[in-house]
Structure 1
């Protein structure tokens, strides 16, 4: 069912009440208006209708948030013990689950992702991230050392919180990315100025309220909403911020890195774009591979940085795999995520819709075969058919660039040399994720070493576990989120050397 209106949705009372509120910025534990008094409309990408408004902050609001975060870092939050931090994170997880229906509906309305995924997958993953990081709060330690300098020494290291962190979120997974950023920073003892994506701020604001309810001191988690070009620059250039963590496009990531260097040389971590390869060998479980391929590229309308958008299939099974993936694509039901029975929702905005459709047209113009899909759907909302393109290859725009939509580029290979296969997979400026489909354990492990990506999945394309580090090679970013490795982003090492004699 396409061309719906916002009135067609059956919202829970909690969600309806939340949308009716006058949403402010979260600064120093209070919901406050932007100093300018400006507000910004938030839209449902399925109906194109306004669903609520939020405060539109400016640089002066960011400054207030930074001051609140600094005061908390040097004051109340510094007195909270690691075990107390862990208990607060666990209580946040409990409250996320208790308010799961409301959070899932807000995420669905704001991002367009089907409600069943928001409720059954996202809520679990968000709560799990907070619980996982709660366990790390008491396990952030230094080491003792045995120097070889003349004399008698006692030497050790301290691992301490980096300070006030600015966190800038993307629009595709607002709630998940908030958890990936907030939970480790709190576990490490940092304070936060969080900037949700301009189009999708609702769940970040709600999580900040739940964090206060869980006992987080005022000023530890501050949320500023509004235009990325204004607030993002205010965060990256602010001398009171010690570190910036960003998830988003490679182009914007490069701009943020330059700003962080030119301001006060603040630390920066970047989780950026991808053009992830999927490699299918003839001995693979073809049914499982087809399901994994389709799920990877079409989930959330392809708006996933790790989406398996470059498909390499051995010539022996190429026709079978591509035909089966195309059949799955045709069977997927596209429509508003708030209504049941839909597998794909809309892309986030008119601009994103136009971008994806232009890529499809470029693909046609460069000689790609549209096996299925390729059309815009409906008169309202930003819906696009799941699309499979064949006869693609290096040098074609659809092959080389990140589309960030439900568009798969399929290619054959007949090489038996794994180095040659890896070279094709690695022929990209990106290196975020990848997958290998085979029953041959030797092939799987050998190829996993050769592929240049932050994560290599075997007989799956996604592995969304809080314990696994996530990040990219090459232009897919700096640093790793999730896992124990994320603590490196929010802590710094201090060496202490005491001469005893």
Structure 2
């Protein structure tokens, strides 16, 4: 099996330690690839290359329209090879091939969107209060960008970071999760076809404590963008403080899905299932907290349970599979621990809470879709991100109560409101402390709309025009058109 390499300064290289990591298919634990395992010295090499490439100005000074054309070529190449990329993503993550195929379409669209934005911001002229002067605001690339992506949406999250960074004129070091690096490696291979200058695009493989920490602490990195867990995000903040570099963090959530009694019952049930059990609940915006108005609580839960019984677990490549395995044995153990905690806290386990018994699922990291009722807001399973197929259900009786419950969390990434009363929906949405709120829907996102959270879900935004601005610095330029002596000092 050929060992896949890192890409630094325009060349494919092995780690200086020659260490290798095996990549495992979570469906059957088979080794599907071997990759070189980098460490802090390899990260330093990539940072040096990215720094030199930025400072020499070749990419930064490339006209924005030309940068946009090159980013657009990436979109076109991804579209060309999307079938191969989707298969690789399903092998790497265990998700269904249908999900992976949809991801590839979204990824191509992200590159296309930011390619189109590359030359659209020509600066801003502002009125100067000083006679005989001109004043303008310009945006310039921030510099060397370290980008760390998670294992649940490996290539999608990479696209959200790579596309705007390159469109804005930066150089990058991308570090995918060590668990799921394969599609990111493949896309960097494809990006070679475009012909970015040496050192503009760099790929480093390895663990977070070594490679990720070096990106965060290194003085030559100007921005660190991270998507992942809250504990790691805090470590990155501390490391980045050494040179006060700009930080963009998306740290997950514990997202409330609010269902009022006047909602379309069947649609809300269907969407509640999709909100939490899609991709095995391994989604930062998963609607893992279901808040149901008391008058419909019991029939709503009954309907959910009946539907959960029919969820088909299996190989992501098999027709009919609705959910694949969890990503790893370690992660499944974490989910199991939270189920134990929920039961100890007094929540009622109404379905699931165990590994599936089907023989064909025994080699994979599967866990049965799980629902808890009788949940209280102060329970750990309500407050902490399980990141698995576990749904907690809470009751409420009024708008005021559900707003208080929904906001009673350290997170603020996303949420949803289900009701036919749009005025009520808008009242509730206006008081929810979250970066994205859906009304009568769950999960849609698109390249044109910003994504990010309030509170400890992080700060900064990806996607949308704001997502491009995250990778720029703002400069004010003042010009005196009739300079004269000031005469202050005689």
| TM-score of the two chains, using structure 1 as the length reference | 0.93
Q: Counterparts of 2:214 and 2:316 in 1: how far apart (Å)?
A: 34
Q: Distance in 1 between matches of 2:445 and 2:329?
A: 29
Write the distance in 1 (CA, Å) between the matches of 2:287 and 2:146. 30
> CA–CA distance in 1 between the matches of 2:113 and 2:252?
26
Q: Which moved more, 1:316-325 or 1:487-496?
A: 316-325
| Equivalent residue number for residue 448 of structure 2 | 467
Separation in 2 of the partners of 1:209 and 1:32?
Answer: 13
Q: Does 1:314 align with 2:293?
A: yes
Question: Do structure 1's residue 105 and structure 2's residue 84 form an aligned pair?
Answer: no
More divergent stretch after superposition (42-51 vs 139-148):
139-148
Partner Cα separation in structure 2 for residue 84 and residue 499 of structure 1: 32
Deviation by residue 1:224-248 (Cα, 9 ceiling, x = unmatched):
0111110011111111110000000
> Which residue of 302, 326, 342 maps to 1:323?
302
Equivalent of 1:94 in 76, 79, 89: 76
Gaps (5+ residues) in structure 1?
1-19
Alignment check: 8 A CA contact 1:212 1:218 kept:
no
The answer to whether residue 40 in structure 2 is matched with residue 59 in structure 1 is: yes
Q: What corresponds to 2:280 in structure 1? A: 301
The aligned counterpart of 2:393 is 410
CA distance in 1 between counterparts of 2:122 and 2:453 reads 26
Whether the 8 Å contact between 1:374 and 1:387 is mirrored in structure 2 is yes
Query: Would the aligned equivalents of 2:230 and 2:251 in 1 still touch at CA under 8 Å?
Result: yes
Deviates most, 210-219 or 378-387: 210-219
CA distances 1:86-124 after superposition (whole Å, capped 9, x unpaired): 1111111111111111111111111111112101x1011
Matched, 1:431 2:412: yes
Cα deviation, 1:350-395, whole Å, max 9, x if unaligned, reads 1100000111111112211112111112431110001111111122
Partners of 1:88 and 1:336 lie apart in 2 by: 37
Q: Are 1:68 and 2:49 an aligned pair?
A: yes
1:493 aligns with 2:474: yes
The residue that corresponds to 2:110 in the other structure is 129
CA contact (8 A) 1:140 1:188 kept: no
State how far apart, in whole Å, the 2-side matches of 1:470 and 1:350 are: 30
Structure 1 counterpart of 2:336? 357
Q: Quote the residue 2:195 is aligned against.
A: 215
In 1, the alpha carbon distance for the partners of 2:307 and 2:205 equals 38
Alignment equivalent of 1:477, drawn from 458, 478, 482? 458
1:52 aligned counterpart, secondary structure: strand
Matched residue count: 477
Take 1:221 and 1:253, find their aligned partners in 2: how far apart are those partners?
24
For residues 257 and 28 of structure 2, what CA distance do their matches in structure 1 show?
A: 34
| Partner residue, 2:248 | 269
1:117 aligns with 2:99: yes
Work out whether residues 419 and 450 of structure 1, in 8 Å CA contact, stay in contact via their aligned partners in 2.
no
SS at match of 1:383: coil
Please say if 1:34 is aligned against 2:29. Answer: no
| 2:355–2:368 CA contact under 8 A, matched in 1 | yes
CA distance in 2, matches of 1:31, 1:325: 50
- Three-state SS of the structure 2 residue aligned to 1:213 is coil
For 1:133-182, what per-residue CA distance to the aligned partner results, in whole angstroms no more than 9, with x for missing partners? Answer: 11100112321122223x42111111000001000001110010011010
Question: What is the CA distance between 1:218 and its match in structure 2?
Answer: 2.6
Matched-pair contact (CA < 8 Å) for 2:114–2:468: no
* Match for residue 318 of structure 2 among 318, 332, 339: 339
Given the alignment of the two structures, is residue 455 of structure 1 paired with residue 444 of structure 2, yes or no?
no
Contact 1:191 1:220 in 2 (8 A): yes
Q: Secondary structure at the match of 1:431?
A: coil
Distance in structure 1 (CA, Å) of the matches to 2:454 and 2:97: 32
| TM-score, reference length from structure 2 | 0.95
Q: Is the contact made by 1:114 and 1:343 (CA closer than 8 Å) also made in structure 2?
A: yes
Q: Deviations over 1:44-96 (max 9, x none)?
A: 11111211111111111111111221222233312421111111111111111
Q: Distance in 2 between matches of 1:325 and 1:106?
A: 33
Q: Note the C-alpha offset of 1:210.
A: 1.2
Distance 1:293 1:237 in 2: 41
Q: In structure 1, how many angstroms separate the alpha carbons of the residues matched to 2:45 and 2:481?
A: 45
- Give the whole-Å Cα distance in 2 for the aligned partners of 1:464 and 1:256: 26
Native 8 Å contact 2:60 2:141 kept in 1? no
Q: Is the counterpart of residue 442 in structure 1 residue 423 in structure 2?
A: yes
Offset at residue 21 of structure 1 (A): 3.4
The secondary structure found in structure 2 opposite 1:293 is: helix
Distance 1:270 1:132 in 2: 22
Structure 2 residue matching 1:36: 3-state secondary structure: coil
